[in-house]
Amino acid sequence: MPLLRALMVWALSGGALAAGPAAPPAQGQLNLMCEAVYLPAREIWVRHVTIGYDDQRVRTVLIDGVPVHSFAIAGTVILTALDNERIQIDTAAQTWTSDFRGVASAQGRCERSR
């Protein structure tokens, strides 16, 4: 649940909360732009992450516009894979870490984007 709380704080920090029991479930989307440095080539790739959620859980994760088939939540970290790249996105620390078949790895910082 810490990830859900962190996402809700980000999504609701700019606006007022709906009052009363008749309010629909909060739904939102968190967009991150991550600049990952891939080694050993030392190339910087900009990765776009979209996290869709409601007041119950994270519903969808897209990386570069491609929906991932499955993901797991460990605290504030989203664990997933795309095209044989194992990816960890820490929403609290706003970091990207990945490994591509042990041949290349990446680390980088993420920023909120629209």
Q: What is the pLDDT of residues 50-66, one digit of tens each?
A: 999 998 899 999 999 99
**Considering the domain boundaries, does residue 17 fall inside one?**
no
Return mean pLDDT, the chain: 85
pLDDT category of residue 10 using cuts at 50, 70 and 90 = very low
Domain that holds residue 42: 2-12+26-113
Give dist(CA 91, CA 5) in Å, integer. 11
Q: How many domains in the chain?
A: 1
pLDDT category of residue 111 using cuts at 50, 70 and 90 = very high
**Considering the domain boundaries, does residue 19 fall inside one?**
no
| Predicted TM-score (pTM) above 0.85 | no
**pLDDT of 23:** 57
Whose CA is closest to 1, among 53, 60, 62?
A: 53
